[in-house]
Structure 1
Amino acid sequence: MALTPRTAGAPEGSGRHGGGRRGGGRGTDRRPRRRRALRWSATVLAVVIIGTAGAGYLYYEHLNGNIQKGRRTSADDSKAQRTRPNAAGQTPLNILLIGSDSRNSAENVKLGGSKNNRGNPPLGDVQMLIHLSADRKSAAMVSIPRDTRVDIPKCEDPKTGRTYPATNGIINTSLARGGAGCTLATWENLTGVYIDHWMTIDFSGVVRMADAIGGVEVCVNQNVWDRPTPDQPGGSGLKMKAGRKKVKGVQALQWLRTRHAWGSDLMRARAQHMYLNSMLRTLKQQNIFTDTGRLTDLAEAATKSLTVSEEIGTVKKLYDLGMELKSVPTNRITSVTMPNVEDPVNGQHVVPEKGGADRMWQMLRDDVPFDKNGKEAKKKSKDEPVKSPSMDAAELGVLVQNATQSSSGPAVPGRARAIGEVLVRHGYGRAAADTSAAVSADETLVRYPSADLQGDAQAVAKALGIPVGQVKRSTDVSGVTVVVGADWRTGAAYPKKSAPKAGDVPENSDALNGSDTSKCMEVYKPYRW
């Protein structure tokens, strides 16, 4: 501690200097000594401040050094665009959370229970989009089952430089085809939702985080033991009695990995949503800032457990993200699973259920709350201002692309030609079908390359009945281009769609509110004890 001038020197009148002389002698000594004491005290104080700040800085850099980072995306052909700002100039925030089954360390092999898979490319068995509303008053957590068949775009592995061609496959394999950036690109292509960041966590990371938080409460209706059976090998090893229990460490990982005891991969997503909702409630109740040990443990666990996209690869940015999520009331957090149906190609897999999935993606793109517990906010129009065409319709070249192919079905033959003929009838004599490589899009769009063609693109959209909000500027086209998506497979006029309202989530999305503590997992009979 820095000493004050009073304690630094001798007491006044002590006679320590000059044998107790008074008058001029005392005056000549006191001022220089006081200045020296002040200088010494300031020096001590400065050392204390610098030492403390230095230790803090070194620890901050230590935490930053824990964080592993990677490129945001591994593909360069995403058509997803950011949602336009609301009336206050705020935009939503979308973060893709990926649970990796990597067994590339002894710790993960031990926890994952599969030595034969050590060194294999990891699979993204848990994939969940966390959507924070523009006003940060609501949030949604959207899961896609790991066995969903989707279009995976061309991706480049940032570590090896290897390029993987576009394919149609199971979504959990995207992580092995270019890392988390490829999974992000796959989600963007499927949903049309712009994703700002990604985070990945492996087996050992889940264990560290659960321990740092102090455990998370979960609930089962019957005694559960997820173990091998005569009909089904494997299992997470989860064993607990009916009722509520706080799980941590390895048992928390077992809860999140359990699938057989819940009956399906879809029910595993529900169990994961319950866990995350409970974890958020736990964090809200804790005041870690008054508990230095807990704060340090949580900081160490988080930075060692997560690999993140490079633009959020600092402690401060991760902390800010955490505080934004923590600020959302639990009754404004909704967990859902993408509506899906059995894959007609392989009964072991699923594909998006077109109507429900499309409505969910639209709600995310339009930043519509998944719950009904908030007040409706005034929104700024997401549409660009309507402009006048720069030329007559007969002079404008319009290219029409057939993008009706999707994970739920093949392209409709001749669709581009049919819509081109509709445009010709509207006076666009130079409209023609694009016969180049096949494309796919869930939503129909009209694209244009430069500002001078914006009015022309809007006029084309009007002729076809396409909302002006689906007219987008894009550097991927050389002229006005109509992309006929999977949402317009029949008919000469674009089908009118009603805008989704707050809480209008599909019934088959297994929605769960973050404040609901009444839910417990039902245990599949072979795994009861």
Structure 2
Amino acid sequence: MAQSSVRGEGTRDRVPHADQADRHGWHDSPQEEGGGEGSGGSNRSGPTARTDARHHGGTPRSGRRGKRRILRWVASVLSLLILGTAGAGYLYYRHLNSNIKKDELNLGKNPMAEHRANAAGQTPLNILLIGSDARNSKANQELGGARETFDGPPLADVQMLVHVSADRSNMSVVSMPRDTVLKIPECTERDTGKTYKATGWKLTNESLDRGGPGCTVATWYQLTGITIDHFMMVDFAGVVSMADAIGGVPVCVRDNVHSRTSDGKGSGLKLAEGTHPIKGEQALQWLRTRYGFEDGTDLARTHAQHMYMNSMVRELRKSTKLTDPNKLRSLAEAATSALTVDTGLDTVGKLYDLAEELKLVPTGRITMTTMPNFYSQRPGFEGKVEPKQPDAEQVFRAIREDIPLDGKASKRKAAAPSKDPAAPSAQIGVQVRNGTYTDELGAAQGRATDITAVLAGKGFTRATAAKQQADPLERTAVFFPSAELEGDAQAVAKALGIPVTSVKKSTEVSGVTLVVGADWREGNAYPKAAATDNGKAPESARPLNGDDTTACMDVQEGFTW
């Protein structure tokens, strides 16, 4: 922890953490043209300016780009789910291995923490699904237009973290909006050795162009502290045939809907009120639709995608249409050709093993969520989004600690106490620092002094409040530099009711250091919800259960017929 300067508590200095971590996103109309770009915003005029200002993607893009992006999103879902339901017949085709492209898991300079085992010695599984908009092949270029973007940098425009619990009883999926404002860590390409320095504020989808998917993984880890085991990145080649092979996915709208504006924007989706099976071009329209769903934003589109994904899982698991060997073979060819994976998933056999793990989770224990967020007011990024605290941290913590987002029980093992005995409280030196700053609320002043007094009242008379403020920390943590101080650090956490999982080793501190995070902005007692919540997703995450067959999209005013 840097301590090279001494400043007032209202200023900021560096502390170790894994919480911080423009091109714009996809649109849904062939008639939409690109507009002028700024450092993170865009200027608009005309009849759809108000709606566009609420759209997270920013500057309008070609609808054919939108089609391509949603194709690769479908590929990301199907690549996991088809492999998990189609059976083992296609595994005999060894040449499928050569279809799979490989890349490094983590291009960041910080190694990810190891998983904690549950009571049965099992560990959770986290897979990051990445949808790339790269147009680096003839097949990808032919699936859409936008020739001006053929040589442009790839963007990670779809990002979904799939968490499978250690006991394989439940699955949680968290989508991060593509225009989330964060900081991208330093990333180094393995093949070339080229290093991309850590950035200031950027959009999360730009991480892919900084060495590859391993930088997107590193960005997720820096923001959330979630250890990621694998990634699966997909483009859109061959995805249409995969979508058709399912044979139709039921979706529901609460009113007649036609996704078309007066000036020709929209996906073109036209459905009557009620539930309908969709496939092919109509499925693509559903997944692309922004104009016409809810409030016309990307968050509405994400919610529609979650509904489709859950419905697709149910269809795949009950379908008898995927028993045809020829159909399985074509699906396997399409899926493996579309995939780029980390080296831990670089064969069909490994993918099959992964799929077998995914099949263990019943659909009723699948929970789809979106990272809780708020509209940024950061200059240059107005209309983009940032993590909404404390809700976003509640979701991230649940996944880090393998707590189901549906609030139901899961077998998990509490963090083990240190084997190093703690010194008497009066002999433990503790530095307390204020890391409560958030962009939404600023810093809660005086927190280091307040919590130092709390510690002193509990017998930690050597606790001192640092004058300098720490870097923002979303979750309160106790850091220690070496094994002989781990017991002391855990004693501090226990005295304050802080989970032992928040006690961490760091070479950047010289002694036991308590950083009061954004989850403890007020009060003398560590918030009970932060310490003991059951992990159930907050309503701001829009949780959707995999067995919910009643889910139905609200239709935006002005898009009915």
Q: Distance in 1 between matches of 2:515 and 2:477?
A: 5
Equivalent residues in 2 for 1:394-473, closer than 5 Å: 394=427, 398-406=430-438, 408-412=440-444, 426-427=459-460, 429=462, 431=464, 433=466, 439-473=471-505
For residue 375 of structure 2, the aligned residue among 342, 345, 348 is 342
Tell me which residue corresponds to 1:261: 292
Equivalent residues in 2 for 1:135-150, closer than 5 Å: 135-150=167-182
Tell me which residue corresponds to 2:549: 517
Alignment pair present for 1:353 and 2:388: yes
| Paired residues of 1:352 and 1:408 also in contact (CA < 8 A) | no
Say which structure is richer in helix: 1
| Paired residues of 1:112 and 1:203 also in contact (CA < 8 A) | no
Equivalent residues in 2 for 1:36-435, closer than 5 Å: 59-60=93-94, 62-77=95-110, 81-158=113-190, 161-204=194-237, 206-227=239-260, 229-230=262-263, 234-240=265-271, 242-262=273-293, 263-286=296-319, 290-345=323-378, 346-371=381-406, 376-385=409-418, 387-389=420-422, 394=427, 398-406=430-438, 408-412=440-444, 426-427=459-460, 429=462, 431=464, 433=466
Q: Distance in 2 between matches of 1:159 and 1:413?
A: 46
| Paired residues of 1:399 and 1:434 also in contact (CA < 8 A) | no
Q: Distance in 2 between matches of 1:238 and 1:203?
A: 20
Deviation per CA, 1:472-513, whole angstroms, max 9, x where unpaired? 2345545433333222334555444352226x3212222211
| Paired residues of 2:253 and 2:555 also in contact (CA < 8 A) | yes
Structure 1 letter corresponding to 2:544: L
Structure 2 letter corresponding to 1:457: A
Structure 2 letter corresponding to 1:253: L
Name the % identity: 50
| Paired residues of 2:91 and 2:348 also in contact (CA < 8 A) | no
Structure 1 letter corresponding to 2:153: P
Deviation per CA, 1:257-298, whole angstroms, max 9, x where unpaired? 322232111111111111211221122123578432122122
Aligned-pair CA distance for 1:191: 2.2
Q: Distance in 2 between matches of 1:57 and 1:490?
A: 56
The residue matched to 1:204 in structure 2 has which SS? coil
Worse overlay, 261-270 or 171-180? 171-180
| Paired residues of 1:447 and 1:473 also in contact (CA < 8 A) | yes
| Paired residues of 1:212 and 1:297 also in contact (CA < 8 A) | no
Structure 2 letter corresponding to 1:489: R
Q: Distance in 1 between matches of 2:238 and 2:224?
A: 28
Aligned-pair CA distance for 1:333: 1.0
Structure 2 letter corresponding to 1:260: Y
| Paired residues of 1:191 and 1:442 also in contact (CA < 8 A) | no
Aligned-pair CA distance for 1:95: 0.9
| Paired residues of 2:99 and 2:337 also in contact (CA < 8 A) | yes
| Paired residues of 1:98 and 1:125 also in contact (CA < 8 A) | yes
Deviation per CA, 1:152-178, whole angstroms, max 9, x where unpaired? 322234465241323222222222334
Structure 1 letter corresponding to 2:385: V
Structure 2 letter corresponding to 1:141: V
Question: Cα gap change, 1:453/1:434 in structure 2, threshold over 3 Å: closer, same or farther?
Answer: farther
Q: Distance in 1 between matches of 2:96 and 2:360?
A: 24
Tell me which residue corresponds to 1:31: none
For residue 521 of structure 2, the aligned residue among 479, 489, 514 is 489
Q: Distance in 2 between matches of 1:388 and 1:406?
A: 36
| Paired residues of 1:461 and 1:468 also in contact (CA < 8 A) | yes
**Unpaired runs of at least 5, structure 1:** 1-55
Q: Distance in 2 between matches of 1:452 and 1:70?
A: 39
Aligned-pair CA distance for 1:359: 1.9
Question: Cα gap change, 1:195/1:208 in structure 2, threshold over 3 Å: closer, same or farther?
Answer: farther
Q: Distance in 2 between matches of 1:268 and 1:461?
A: 42
TM-score (norm 1): 0.77
Question: Cα gap change, 1:391/1:76 in structure 2, threshold over 3 Å: closer, same or farther?
Answer: farther
| Paired residues of 1:100 and 1:202 also in contact (CA < 8 A) | yes
Q: Distance in 2 between matches of 1:127 and 1:138?
A: 20
Question: Cα gap change, 1:122/1:407 in structure 2, threshold over 3 Å: closer, same or farther?
Answer: farther
Q: Distance in 1 between matches of 2:520 and 2:99?
A: 48
TM-score (norm 2): 0.73
Structure 2 letter corresponding to 1:90: Q
* Matched residue count: 466
Question: Cα gap change, 1:111/1:523 in structure 2, threshold over 3 Å: closer, same or farther?
Answer: farther
Question: Cα gap change, 1:176/1:428 in structure 2, threshold over 3 Å: closer, same or farther?
Answer: farther
Question: Cα gap change, 1:364/1:134 in structure 2, threshold over 3 Å: closer, same or farther?
Answer: same
Aligned-pair CA distance for 1:185: 2.1
Query: Of the two, which has the highest radius of gyration?
Result: 1
| Paired residues of 1:330 and 1:514 also in contact (CA < 8 A) | yes
Question: Cα gap change, 1:500/1:459 in structure 2, threshold over 3 Å: closer, same or farther?
Answer: closer
Q: Distance in 1 between matches of 2:208 and 2:238?
A: 17
Worse overlay, 290-299 or 122-131? 290-299
Tell me which residue corresponds to 2:60: none
Q: Distance in 1 between matches of 2:516 and 2:211?
A: 29
RMSD value over aligned CA atoms? 3.3
Aligned-pair CA distance for 1:315: 0.9
